[in-house]
Amino acid sequence: MTPQSLMLLCLLAPFVGALACLPFPGRRRWSAAVAMVAMALSLAAAIALVAKTSGGEAFAIHAGGWSAPFGIVLVVDAFASLMLAVCQLVVVASLIFAARTLPSRYTRRHLFPLILLLSFGTSGAFLTGDLFNLYVWFEVLLLSSFALMAILPGQAGRSGTWRYVVINLVSSMLFLAAAGLIYGKTGTLNFADLRLRLLEADSPFLIESSAALLFGAFGIKAALIPLAFWLPSSYPLLPPALSAMFAGLLTKVGLYAFYRVFGMVFASGEGFPHRDLLLGLALVTMIGGVLGAVGQNGMRRILSFHIISQVGYMALALALFTPLALAAGIFYLGHHIIVKANLFLVTGLVETRAGSSDLAKVKGLMRSSPWIAVLFAVPALSLAGLPPLSGFFAKFALLKATLEAGNTFAALAVVGVGLLTIFSMLKIWRAAFWGGDVVATGRPPAKSLMVTSAALALVTIMIGLACGPVFGLAETAAACLLDPTAYHEAVLGTGNPRIPAKP
Amino acid sequence: MELLIALTIGLLIAAGLYRLIGPTRIDMVIGLLLLSQGANLTIFASGGLKHNATALIDGDPSKLAGLTDPLPQALVLTAIVIGFGILAFLLTLILRSSPK
């Protein structure tokens, strides 16, 4: 298949699946089966796209035959295809958990179409080639996530949903206003065209104020401290099957937008607007997130604070803005999405087995279900960054980048926050898995769930063992951001005189 | 004209932020609504504000000079529709969570 049809398959399979589920809200099995097939197709297309773009190529679809920058474009390059593949993988795993673990409160209310539409929105956000459509795709994925959140029961669920909805809408408004201002100043919203215009004009006045608005919008979505406090008050309320998907996808879409817009569109030569601010906030986020986790007593809450801390790592990689740092950041994104989703899925296993994931109530799982302990240990050690797992190489590359940039404080933070992460993981391990008296109010989780979680753990181990080729992919993706000549040619046409020649 | 629109945008966003920190959920919904109107007007103004031009022109490109850019108007239409959907969702959320 051509890359263009693969892109359409990847994007549209979840959408068509959602349409096929919607008329039959009562038929759970049908919806689950359709959702699985749609996501599997989308995952396969995404993996094929990774193979097609692994040499640094970029492909574009011009909707309706309108040439850029006038029409709507969908673009895929190495970075976008990598993110697509990882995210679809996580959605497939969460779907299996959602179908097997969620009570009927969730499954009878259009759960599967909503998950599919959430995936549709994230895929669209990765593939879109202009700023306004990025806003539209954000709204698509936000509305599905709002509807998923709104199923949460009880007073706590409602107030968590409300916080999540309002803060995300504020972020959307910032985004919308920024898009309007950028169009007013440059006359274009297409990423490729916008980048060329900014390079031609080379005037900070054009971009800095609007970039500040976008910084706020993406900062809320990516959960950078001080814009992150909505996250620990809403994510822990979600059942693990859903929080795995939220944790894997939503904040990472915000980070992707940071990388794409600040790292590519606004970037010129050696930097981008508000880079020092991003560097500072990244460090605060890393340290603040991990310190926030220390005081928590439930697995869900500890893991939620670790999302924030890890977002700091990936923002730090962007703020350093060297080829090595960007490659490390992209590698980190891919590794982190899988590992974090898997940790939430294992939390789901613990809850099925022990009836709760509150550390005060769970004890001695190591003895009663050693396999769950193994499944927890792999992603937990990977998150903390122990060799030979994927997290080690992500942290190692980032540490090397900080040292090469001569930023000793950042290097110390990378190591120190890693140590504190181990501390948190050990806290879970000591409380839930060790201890003598076995508290088992639940039942052993189904085989299919264990296999799903084991498959994600295996991916983590494989990324660690085959680190060379995977890191090579991340380097290609980083090169696509730093020198998007292929991106420009795909969007604006090969031989367009405005595209600067390669140095 | 520009000054009027700029002041209106500022007023809408200021009022929106003020209502957003209000005590009840309806206050917040109204605040979000005002904010989104402010953002919509920003986009609308980005196409340029001209008046006294004909709405329909024939194929002569030289007559395009006095006209505004139509793209932001298409964008703002999309944004209004999305904002309307979100308003409906927010109101449903409030209705569902209020005691019956």
Q: In this predicted structure, what is the pLDDT of residue A476?
A: 92
Minimum CA–CA partner of A131 in chain B: B75
In this structure, is the dihedral angle defined by the CA atoms of residues A262, A265, A270 and A273, taken in order, positive or negative? Answer: negative
Q: In this predicted structure, what is the pLDDT of residue B36?
A: 92
Task: Place A160 in a pLDDT band, splitting at 50, 70 and 90.
Answer: confident
The set of residues, in sequence order, having a beta carbon less than 8 Å from that of A437 and lying 6+ positions away, is A363, A364
Q: In this predicted structure, what is the pLDDT of residue B46?
A: 84
Task: Place A502 in a pLDDT band, splitting at 50, 70 and 90.
Answer: low
On whether the CB atoms of residues B79 and B40 are closer than 8 A, the answer is: yes
Measure A169 CA to nearest chain B CA, in Å.
Answer: 7
* Pick from A150, A162, A169: CB nearest B86: A169
pLDDT tops 70 at residue A422: yes
What is the spatial distance between Cα A415 and Cα A405, in angstroms, rounded to a whole number? 16
Arithmetic mean of pLDDT, A33-37: 93
Task: Place A27 in a pLDDT band, splitting at 50, 70 and 90.
Answer: confident
Minimum CA–CA partner of A184 in chain B: B46
* Pick from A150, A170, A183: CB nearest B93: A150
Contacts of A166 in chain B (CB under 8 A): 20, 28, 32
Contacts of B20 in chain A (CB under 8 A): 166, 170
Minimum CA–CA partner of A159 in chain B: B97
Task: Place A203 in a pLDDT band, splitting at 50, 70 and 90.
Answer: confident
Give the residue with greater pLDDT, B29 vs A108. Answer: B29
What is the spatial distance between Cα A86 and Cα A63, in angstroms, rounded to a whole number? 26
Contacts of B44 in chain A (CB under 8 A): 180
Write out pLDDT tens, residues A71-113: 889 999 999 999 999 999 999 999 999 988 888 878 777 889 9
pLDDT tops 80 at residue A351: yes
For chain A, what percent of residues have pLDDT higher than 90?
50
Arithmetic mean of pLDDT, A468-484: 90
- Residue from A86, A84, A42, A96 nearest A454 by CA: A96
Structure tokens at A208: 């800095």
Arithmetic mean of pLDDT, A221-237: 89
pLDDT tops 90 at residue A8: yes
pLDDT tops 70 at residue B96: yes
Identify residues of A whose CB sits under 8 angstroms from chain B CBs.
132, 135-136, 139, 143, 146-147, 150, 158, 161-162, 165-166, 169-170, 173, 176-177, 179-181, 183-185, 187
On whether the CB atoms of residues A101 and A241 are closer than 8 A, the answer is: yes
* Pick from A146, A165, A183: CB nearest B72: A183
Q: Where are the alpha helices (DSSP H) in A223-359?
A: 230-234, 240-257, 275-294, 299-320, 323-354
On whether the CB atoms of residues A173 and A239 are closer than 8 A, the answer is: no
- Note which residues in 17-36 of chain B have CB less than 8 A from chain A: 20, 25, 28, 32, 35-36
The strand pairing partners of A128, in sequence order, are: A74
Alpha-carbon Rg of chain A, whole angstroms? 22
pLDDT tops 60 at residue A318: yes
- Residue from A380, A373, A382 nearest A354 by CA: A373
Give the residue with greater pLDDT, A380 vs A70. Answer: A380
The answer to whether B7 faces chain A, any CB pair under 8 Å, is: no
The strand pairing partners of A73, in sequence order, are: A62
Backbone φ, ψ for residue A190 (5° rounding): -65, 130
Structure tokens at A471: 């890191």
What is the spatial distance between Cα A223 and Cα A351, in angstroms, rounded to a whole number? 26
Query: Which residue, chain included where needed, has tokens 């309806």?
Result: B26
**pTM surpassing 0.90?**
yes
What is the spatial distance between Cα A26 and Cα A109, in angstroms, rounded to a whole number? 8
- The region of weakest confidence among A67-76, A264-273, A347-356, B45-54 is B45-54
Measure A89 CA to nearest chain B CA, in Å.
Answer: 29
A451: left (phi over 0), alpha (psi -120 to 50) or beta: alpha
Q: In this predicted structure, what is the pLDDT of residue A50?
A: 93
Q: In this predicted structure, what is the pLDDT of residue A317?
A: 93
- Residue from A115, A97, A108, A143 nearest A42 by CA: A115
* Pick from A146, A161, A173: CB nearest B35: A173
On whether the CB atoms of residues A348 and A442 are closer than 8 A, the answer is: no
Number of Cβ within a 10 Å radius of residue B99: 3
Query: Which residue, chain included where needed, has tokens 């040619």?
Result: A489
Contacts of B86 in chain A (CB under 8 A): 139, 143, 169
On whether the CB atoms of residues A162 and B93 are closer than 8 A, the answer is: yes
Prior bond to A226 cis, omega within 30?
yes
- Size (chain B), residues: 100
Minimum CA–CA partner of A188 in chain B: B71
pLDDT tops 70 at residue B63: no
Task: Place A364 in a pLDDT band, splitting at 50, 70 and 90.
Answer: confident
Q: In this predicted structure, what is the pLDDT of residue A363?
A: 79
Q: Which helix (H) or strand (E) holds A76?
A: strand A73-76
Minimum CA–CA partner of A169 in chain B: B32
Q: In this predicted structure, what is the pLDDT of residue A454?
A: 92
The set of residues, in sequence order, having a beta carbon less than 8 Å from that of B96 and lying 6+ positions away, is A150
- Residue from A85, A79, A57 nearest A255 by CA: A79
Structure tokens at B26: 């309806």
Chains A, B: CB contacts within 8 A come to 73
- Helix axes of A111-127 and A78-101: crossing angle, nearest 10 degrees: 170
Write out pLDDT tens, residues A125-145: 999 988 999 999 999 999 999
pLDDT tops 90 at residue A185: no
The strand pairing partners of A130, in sequence order, are: A190
Contacts of B36 in chain A (CB under 8 A): 169, 173, 176
DSSP one-letter code for A444: P
- Size (chain A), residues: 503
Question: What angle (nearest 5°) sits at the alpha carbon of residue B12, between those of residues A254 and A135?
Answer: 25
Q: In this predicted structure, what is the pLDDT of residue B11?
A: 96
Contacts of A187 in chain B (CB under 8 A): 69
The mean pLDDT of chain B is 85
Contacts of A150 in chain B (CB under 8 A): 93, 96
On whether the CB atoms of residues A267 and A199 are closer than 8 A, the answer is: no
The CA dihedral of A372, A373, A379, A380, to the nearest 10 degrees, is 140
Structure tokens at A457: 């753990």
Q: In this predicted structure, what is the pLDDT of residue A175?
A: 93
Query: Which residue, chain included where needed, has tokens 């890359």?
Result: A3
- Helix axes of A447-465 and A78-101: crossing angle, nearest 10 degrees: 160
Contact: B32, A173; criterion CB under 8 Å: yes
Q: Enumerate long-range contacts of B56-59, CB under 8 Å, 24 or more apart.
A: none
Arithmetic mean of pLDDT, A473-500: 86
Task: Place B93 in a pLDDT band, splitting at 50, 70 and 90.
Answer: confident
pLDDT tops 80 at residue A15: yes
Write out pLDDT tens, residues A434-451: 876 666 577 788 888 889
The mean pLDDT of chain A is 89
Give the residue with greater pLDDT, A211 vs A26. Answer: A211
* Pick from B20, B47, B79: CB nearest A176: B79
- Residue from A226, A74, A45 nearest A136 by CA: A74
- Residue from A97, A52, A49 nearest A456 by CA: A97
Minimum CA–CA partner of A154 in chain B: B97
Backbone φ, ψ for residue A62 (5° rounding): -100, 110
Contacts of B32 in chain A (CB under 8 A): 166, 169-170, 173
Contact: B43, A173; criterion CB under 8 Å: no
